[in-house]
């Protein structure tokens, strides 16, 4: 977790991946408790999944900003 927190100010994309049910979501939500302005988006939500499916990076940025 310290490596992820240290990388956050770089404003780069951080990809967290792994097998199902290993704690990825729990880890992200724990980190976000200590980060102001952080947002968790789940692609399990149909509107979020639709917003990111087949979209350009510009469209994704617009969705996040809104």
Check residue 51 and give its pLDDT: 80
Which residue matches tokens 């992820």?
Answer: 4
Check residue 2 and give its pLDDT: 82
Q: Is the pLDDT of residue 66 over 60?
A: no
Distance between the two ends of the chain, CA-based, in angstroms?
28
Which tens digits make up the pLDDT trace of 10-60?
A: 766 777 888 989 999 999 899 888 877 777 888 888 988 888 889 888 887
Check residue 41 and give its pLDDT: 81
Which positions ≥6 away from 64 have C-beta within 8 Å? 39, 41
How much is the pTM?
Answer: 0.61
């Amino acid at each position: 977790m310290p490596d992820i927190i240290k990388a956050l100010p770089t404003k780069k994309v951080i990809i967290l991946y792994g097998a199902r049910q290993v704690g990825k979501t729990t880890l992200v939500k724990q980190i976000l408790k200590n980060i102001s302005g952080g947002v968790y988006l789940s692609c399990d939500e149909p509107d979020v999944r639709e917003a990111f499916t087949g979209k350009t990076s510009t469209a994704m940025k617009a969705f996040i900003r809104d």
